[in-house]
Structure 1
Amino acid sequence: MGIVTGEKEFFKGIGQIKYEGPQSDNPLAFRWYDADKVIAGKPMKDHLRFACAYWHSFCGNGADPFGEPTHIFPWSLKDDAIERAKDKMDAAFEFITKMNLPFYCFHDVDIVDYTNDINENDRRLQTMVGYAKQKQEDSGVKLLWGTSNLFSNRRYMNGAATNPNFHVLAHAGTQVKAALDATIALGGENYVFWGGREGYMTLLNTDMKREQEHLAKFLHTAKDYARKQGFNGNFFIEPKPCEPTKHQYDYDAATVLGFLQKYGLIDDFKLNLEVNHATLAGHTFQHDLQVAADAGLLGSIDANRGDYQNGWDTDQFPNDITEVTEYMLIILQAGGFGGGGINFDAKIRRNSTDPADLFYAHIGGMDIFARALVIADNILQKSDYKKIRADRYASFDSGAGKDFEAGKLSLEDLRKYAVENGEPETISGKQEYLENLINRYI
């Protein structure tokens, strides 16, 4: 992949980020991410399928509820919306190609600023889709997924597909149509729905049953439209329990799974899981990964982390090798992603104001997943990790245990077995051994 820039270079002094190996002291080089290195039968780049999140990397300005923007980027300065959007896309593809990222992903309003005029929004988005097409052709970078922002505009303060006002739902449908058209035009491999405000602040004014039925109908309508337009990719739903609403209908992986089953969406939708969303739901990320993997619905992930002292979505870059290794154990055993990959839905900190900081953040995130991939593969191939897990359930592999799994035993049969065989032996779960095993391979 060659570097693609616009008329001017935004990240001056930073060239192509290359793999230099674990011994390198170069902060602008990969120590673990060797894109073409084959692990478990395929190159790292095909296992990990890294994507740049357009919104945090090029739209975020460092502002928070208590302070003004601290990231005043040169691509955000022009007055004209289209010219400003083109500068931003020039900067994005310069960064993406310098980082050797194979994919990117976006919301519609990330690509170009929207107004409240539907026709003008369509014109702007179509203009930028044409610009993005050329960027993709020049660089070889692909669109991992597109989506629409149905949560920032004040019209969506009570939700989009679940809004009690049909007029608002119609605006949401209009936006999704345009975003789907853009995703299809750019060869996007997937499309994501995140219900940022699809929930409630109080049940006192909420018909929850009706709202969820509307959400299901909306998803069916969007899915049917995309299929008619020739879109053969996956639809993803991204769970999150709360924030900005008190309670969101896509609370966690298990909740979304039940929703998809109930409303007949299971054949077209998979899950896009985020680390910080799982922890806000009171789970480990490993839990939500396993729920999705067990259902065959592990589609894609947003790679980030929260702050254990903050009860909100801080979207920091991942940096815990033990945790990420546990993620990769589940992903590898699930056979990888179902159409998606790893996008860094993470933002540099408010006080990280140098252009190089965006590179340091992504290099660290990519390296930690690459290192975890190597470690997880070694654990699966060289250790007794899988045998210990299998041995815990060996009593169900033959005899009465196997008959139970096959549905052949009644409660009377279970009682008879318990009486005949007395008290079960105490068998260790070997938790400390397995935790030490992961550290040993790290």
Structure 2
Amino acid sequence: MLMSYFADLPTIQYDGPESRNPLAFRWYDANRNVMGKTMREHLRWAICYWHSFAWAGSDVFGAGTFERPWAPGQPVTPERAQIKLNAAFDFFAKMQAPFFCFHDVDAMADYETIGEYSNNLATIVQAMEGKIAETGVELLWGTANLFGHPRYAAGAATNPEPEIFAWAAHQVRSMLEATHRLKGANYVLWGGREGYDTILNTNLAREMDQLGRFMSMVVEHKHKIGFAGAILIEPKPHEPTKHQYDRDAATVYGFLKRYGLENEVKVNIEANHATLAGNSFEHEIATANALGIMGSIDMNRGDPQNGWDTDQFPNNVPEMTLALYHLLKGGGFTTGGFNFDAKVRRQSMDAEDLFHAHIGGVDVLARSLVNAAAIIEDGTLDHFVAERYAGWNDAFGQNILTGALDLAGTADHAVFSNSNPKAVSGRQEFLENLINNFC
């Protein structure tokens, strides 16, 4: 029997802030109470299958650098799929991860036909079900890879060929049903190529309607099979396509509204995708909260010196503090959580490097959670924002918002009161200093 790839590495424990043990949590104390919930309940963190176990450490300039027993980057046989499954759940257990996430093709053996796809997926899902029962690690969400195979070069739901649309429908139905079987908390739809490279060959209105119909079909099937979890869309502005239809949270909301799905689908926000769209991570969370579509989070970061999706582990506590602040202000997660959609660097090729990466990411979230809770409990920031908008709670402001005053009536108010309002300082620097005081 093959020895576990992680056999020589310990189960990761909480040692406290003073610890210098690189294989221990310094800030993540799973049972620590923060604002009425444990850290484990707040963060609901998950390890992703694809970057951690399916990626070979390759890039566009070079081959894979990772030598693992399951041979990532090489053809996946049923035997290799099982070795990878065993290693993945061993890692999840040693990290004491509450959740994991996966695409269909991350875990299953390779296939040629639609029948082989169905059989190979069913085999690995059955094995995964046993591992979940054995370890207690739960499925945060499942999804189908609708971007890697050459058939999806022109998209999946937005493809010009309805036969390819049907193949995508089979994958999503299969994975939605698998997620339901595995008691997953959510199902994610990531349109990796739902967009276009050139408008010259694109019927944009047609593709939007196709995508809208596909999403509606997924929601219909969710209710048909009794899946109680959330359906999530993951916004991304571009890469691999030049333009994608799910650019950011606000764009997704407009799309959902158009097709009557705004009460059925939420967003799975990724930090790196937010910055690729020209937004901050906290802006995307605040926007999703404001629109009522906050679902879950892919936790990673980009590199400001690179213009692509580098998927690095989070390491900036002040930035994450703002993100956690807005998440807590919106009520926190329900079915969602923080999934580490991040990968170790090509030169970080040892088994131990996977531990260091996830330990650091979890500790950044835990430390940021404590900071964000302290900011809320202090109340200075909330009080400032409330005071800044206080006029809208008065009779005049309420009359505008409720429609009791129309445009003419509002304008007449300014005339009759001989209005001469003055700008008031936004005190940005004061507030930035305030946040830094907690970090």
TM-score, normalised on structure 1?
Answer: 0.96
Q: In the alignment, which of 415, 425, 429 is matched to residue 432 of structure 1?
A: 429
The aligned residue for residue 52 of structure 2 is 57
Q: Give the Cα–Cα distance (whole angstroms) in 2 for the partners of residues 119 and 138 of structure 1.
A: 29
3-state SS of paired residue (2:296)? strand
Change (3 A) 1:410 1:268: closer
Query: Secondary structure at the residue paired with 1:146?
Result: strand
1:290 to 283, 286, 293: 286
2:271 is matched by which residue type in structure 1? Answer: V
Which of 204, 215, 221 is matched with 1:219 structurally?
A: 215
User: For 1:423, which of 420, 424, 434 is the aligned residue?
Assistant: 420
SS of structure 1 residue aligned to 2:90 = helix
CA shift, 1:402, in A, is 2.1
Which piece of structure 1 moves more, 101-110 or 428-437? Answer: 428-437
Conservation of the 8 A alpha-carbon contact between 2:16 and 2:25: yes
Query: Does the CA contact (< 8 Å) of 1:151 and 1:159 recur in 2?
Result: yes
Partner of residue 441, structure 1: 438
- The amino acid of 1:138's aligned partner reads E
**Alignment equivalent of 1:70, drawn from 65, 68, 82:** 65
1:156 maps to 2:152:
yes
Match for 2:345 among 327, 340, 349?
349
Counterparts of 1:153-192 in structure 2, within 5 Å, are 153-192=149-188
1:255 deviates by 0.5
1:229 to 225, 229, 237: 225
Identify the residue that residue 250 of structure 1 maps to in structure 2. 246
| Residue among 163, 170, 193 paired with 1:197 | 193
**Conservation of the 8 A alpha-carbon contact between 1:396 and 1:402:** yes
In the alignment, does 2:103 pair up with 1:107? yes
2:344 corresponds to 1:363: no
* Aligned positions, number: 437
Which deviates more from structure 2 when the two are superposed, residues 112-121 or residues 190-199?
Answer: 112-121
Q: Does structure 1 residue 145 correspond to structure 2 residue 141?
A: yes
- 2-side partners of 1:108 and 1:352: how far apart? 26
* Kept after mapping to 1: 8 A contact 2:54/2:106: yes
Q: Cα distance, 1:421 vs. partner?
A: 4.4
Aligned residues of 1:271 and 1:299 also touching (Cα < 8 A): yes
Distance in structure 2 (CA, Å) of the matches to 1:416 and 1:219: 47
Moved over 6 A (4+): 77-80
Q: Deviations over 1:280-331 (max 9, x none)?
A: 1111111111111111211000000001011110000011111100000100
| Alpha-carbon offset, residue 394 of structure 1 | 0.6
Aligned counterparts of 1:52 and 1:104: Cα–Cα separation in 2: 5
**Which amino acid counterpart does residue 421 of structure 2 have in structure 1?**
P
Structure 1 unaligned regions, length at least 5: 1-5
One-letter code aligned to 1:314? T
Q: C-alpha deviations, 1:368-414, integer Å up to 9, x for none? A: 11111111001100241110010000111113122212222223333
Q: SS in structure 1 opposite 2:319?
A: helix
Task: Say if 1:76 and 1:87, in contact at 8 Å, map to a contact too.
Answer: no
Offset from partner CA, 1:151-197 (integer Å, 9 cap, x none): 00000000001000111111111111211121111111110000110
Q: State the Cα RMSD in Å.
A: 1.4
Q: 1:438 deviation in Å?
A: 1.1
Question: Deviation of residue 124 (structure 1)?
Answer: 1.0
Which stretch shows the higher mean deviation, 113-122 or 340-349? Answer: 113-122
Residue 299 of structure 1: SS of its match in structure 2? strand
- 1:270-281 pair list within 5 angstroms: 270-281=266-277
Q: Which residue of 2 aligns with 1:13?
A: 8
Which residue, out of 16, 37, 51, partners 1:42? Answer: 37
The CA deviation at 1:7 is 5.5
Shift of 1:89: 0.8
